[in-house]
Amino acid sequence: MHVLITGAASGIGKELTFCFAKEKDAVLSLVDINEQGLRDIINGMKVTAKTYKLDLADIDAIPDMIQKVEKENGPIDVLINCAGIMFIQTMAKTPWEKGLRLLNIDLLAPLRIVNLVLPAMVKRRKGHIVNISSMAGVTTIPGCCYYGAAKAGIANASEILRGEVKRYGIGVTTVYLGPIKTPLEAQCRTEVKGNIYSDHIPAGSPQRTAELIYKAVKKNRALVIYTWEYYLVRHIRRIADWFVMRFAPDPKT
């Protein structure tokens, strides 16, 4: 089973690597901008694992990367679009170049990779795609105009895709996450003026997140929502939007 994971050097992507490494026949293609982080992960692994350094903001470089991955490791059976960046900053204070970089990495890059990988999956009539979204794509969080747009976009595309490719035996899982205790989450906490709401909002673990995604791939589940509290948020969006806009901490910039 050939598994391609983007954002594999840390956080959720790193834990997903460990989950899929349990498969005896696993072949792992790990993509990240952090080359040393990738090397550290595969050190001592008993399965075939190769690393690929790429800044996913460079959309035009993605086709060559996919071509290289498939030439070296064969057709991709499982694609996990895990790479992502986030910042919390008002739109008025966000330089366009900064917002565009986020949109490229969080929205356009995963769509481009799906675009490149999907035809072969359709031809073989097998495969699974995981797209990681966020509750920021469901609720209106101050300071997340770009991030919310990207995550709402990838979530909607992912759910549409599941319906399109079901007839070909291909599974698609869309992942809706609240805060997860990763370096990215820690960084974002420094970008807001904390309050009681933000200090006590439920946060999950990257290990548990990876386990849920791994099980979803094995059982072809349509959705992963974590932590459990966010099941409610997804179904009472208007109330959730009011609550978040009223009580969420303001961005520092």
Q: Is 76 exposed, middle or buried (CB count within 10 Å of its CB: 0-12, 13-18, 19+)? A: buried
Q: Which amino acid is at 6?
A: T
**Can you give the pLDDT at residue 17?**
97
Parallel, antiparallel or unpaired: strands 48-53 and 78-81: unpaired
Of 71, 12, 17, 75, the closest CA to residue 42 belongs to 17
DSSP structure string for 86-107: -----GGGS-HHHHHHHHIIII
CB 203 within 8 A of CB 159: no
**Catalytic residue annotation:** 147, 151
**Can you give the pLDDT at residue 245?**
76
* Torsion region of 190: left, alpha or beta (phi above 0 gives left; psi -120 to 50 gives alpha): alpha
E strands present in the chain? 2-6, 27-32, 48-53, 78-81, 127-132, 170-177, 223-226
Q: What mean pLDDT is reported for the chain? A: 93
Q: Which amino acid is at 174?
A: T
Task: Give the predicted TM-score (pTM) of the model.
Answer: 0.91
Of 198, 184, 78, the closest CA to residue 127 belongs to 78
Q: What is the mean pLDDT of each run of 10 residues along the chain (253 residues)?
A: 97 97 95 97 93 98 98 98 96 98 98 98 98 94 95 96 96 96 87 74 92 98 90 74 80 83
Report CA torsion sign: 194, 195, 200, 201. negative
CATH numbers and ranges of domains, the chain: 2-247 (3.40.50.720)
**Can you give the pLDDT at residue 241?**
74
In tens, the pLDDT along 60-71 reads 999 999 999 999
**Can you give the pLDDT at residue 198?**
67
